[in-house]
Amino acid sequence: MSQENVQLARRGFEAWEHGDLETVLSLIHEDVVCRQVGQVDSRIYHGLEGYVEFASAWLEPYEELRFRPSRERIVSVARW
Secondary structure (DSSP) of 59-77: HTT-S--B--EETTEEEE-
Q: How confident is the model at residue 77 (pLDDT cuts 50, 70, 90)?
A: very low
3-state helix, strand, coil in the chain (%, to 5): 40, 15, 40
CATH label of the domain that carries residue 51:
3.10.450.50
CA-derived radius of gyration, the chain: 13
How confident is the model at residue 18, as a pLDDT?
86
Of 2-16, 21-35, 59-73, the one with minimum mean pLDDT is 59-73
Q: How confident is the model at residue 8 (pLDDT cuts 50, 70, 90)?
A: confident
Structural domains in the chain (count): 1
Segments forming the whole domain that contains residue 58? 3-76
Q: How confident is the model at residue 47 (pLDDT cuts 50, 70, 90)?
A: very high
pTM for the whole structure = 0.68
